[in-house]
Amino acid sequence: MSNRLHTRSSHEIQLRESTPLDSKALNDFFSSIQTEGKLSMKVRRQIDFFSFYHRLGLKFKNYVFESTKQTTGPQPQAGKVFSLLPPEISSEILGTASFLLQNRSLYNRVFKIALACDLRISNKRKAIMNWSKFFLPKIAALQDDEKIDHFITSINLTEQKAINAFLRPRQLHNNLPIYELIQKYNLVSVHGFFPVAHSLVKNIKVRYAKDSDKEALIQYINTKLQDYELVPEAIQNNLASYISDSILYSFSHFLVAKDSHGNIVGCTHPISSGLLQDYFPQKYDQQANNFRQFLKFTSFFHFSRTLTRPFSSTNKEQTLNFRMLHFLFFEHPEVLNSLVHTAFHGSMMNEFILYAYQTSQYDYRPPKGTLHAETPYGLFEIKKPDLPSYQTKIKIVKNIFLDYLWF
């Protein structure tokens, strides 16, 4: 008769809403999965996993895709008696996804938007095979519970894996969400300036806002926002309160451009990437690495700043540091040139400048004489596959307020 103890185990896969107790495990999993593209990198949250959402000041829903294993104690066999122990339960995170919830204006109405972000899925077969079975029902449930009007997401169009996973043609019988393009936009990174090719218009002065600029600045931004859709309701209702209550923004940190008559002709608010989360470059593709080597060369002549070395070549993780330009408005491209120049030279020596613009916004193209790179992105609406029409519900003619949408 065998003396081997027999145990029983059962596996269960589920997609559940996270709790604060999941913070460490989520952060460990999140930072272990790298995003692919011209620059592959890993992202790590500071303090705890949910600090990113709290700093943005947005309501959110985060979900954990996990496999749980329950193992019972020894089972009695013939002629032997064992005391049954409580079952042991272990879990493994296979994926995570978040939705940032915010009311935004569209066609003079207010819609509730859910921005899908932070999608990370394990490379394990059971994660890939089962994710789609849970994701669509969760979207449907969230839509009913939170009264969501539109689900949208941003996708880096150089991430081939993301393109294959979400945007490739699908059969109609597939029970998978449909991703429909709303608008394309570019993410511009400015790393320096050529001394001969780059110049500034002297009668445009850029400096940090003073208390005396506050009223005129608010009026200027509100006027500019009239040309944009998907503006957060809180910004439209009371911009002054929104800025004052924000963790990220401050009126004293706005850069204000004025003409020779003292009129405001442009503004922006730089935000350090370190205020939100840490970015760790893992690998540059051939084109990106050539650009990094070129910046390394031009930095000797003080034309530019170098990019962070990839982890693979240093065996030590180093953060990629930059400043994002929010509330970027101006009257003509020469003002943009002055704003970018001032923001760049007002940043740290290891930082570059980053801003987003739609491909139709020609005035937002990188200023002449800058050392820059552009990465194409797409803003998509996520729709259920059983909708009768494949024409996207969001038909936007105006520009889109991209702040918060491209993180």
* Residues 98 and 63 sit within 8 Å (Cβ to Cβ): yes
Q: What is the Cα–Cα distance from 213 to 230, expressed in whole angstroms?
A: 26
Determine the pLDDT at residue 73: 56
Amino acid present at 333: P
Residue range 232-244, pLDDT digits in tens: 999 999 999 999 9
What DSSP string runs through 377-395? Answer: EEEEEEE-TT-S--S-S--
Dihedral in degrees, nearest 10, Cα atoms 249, 106, 401, 138: 80
Q: What is the Cα–Cα distance from 187 to 401, expressed in whole angstroms?
A: 14
Determine the pLDDT at residue 6: 41
Residue segments in the chain with a per-residue pLDDT below the cut of 50: 1-8
Determine the pLDDT at residue 169: 55
Q: Provide the CATH number for the domain formed by 188-378 in this structure.
A: 3.40.630
Beta-bridged to residue 190, according to DSSP, are 353, 372
Q: What is the Cα–Cα distance from 167 to 160, expressed in whole angstroms?
A: 10
Q: Whole-model pTM above 0.85? A: yes
Beta-bridged to residue 322, according to DSSP, are 352
CATH topology of domain 9-73+86-183: Aminopeptidase (3.40.630)
Count CB atoms within 10 A of the CB of residue 311: 18
Residues of the chain with CATH 3.40.630.30: 9-73+86-183
Determine the pLDDT at residue 129: 80
Local structure of 336: helix, strand or coil: helix
Determine the pLDDT at residue 392: 54
Query: The tokens 């939705």 sit on which residue?
Result: 99
Determine the pLDDT at residue 168: 59
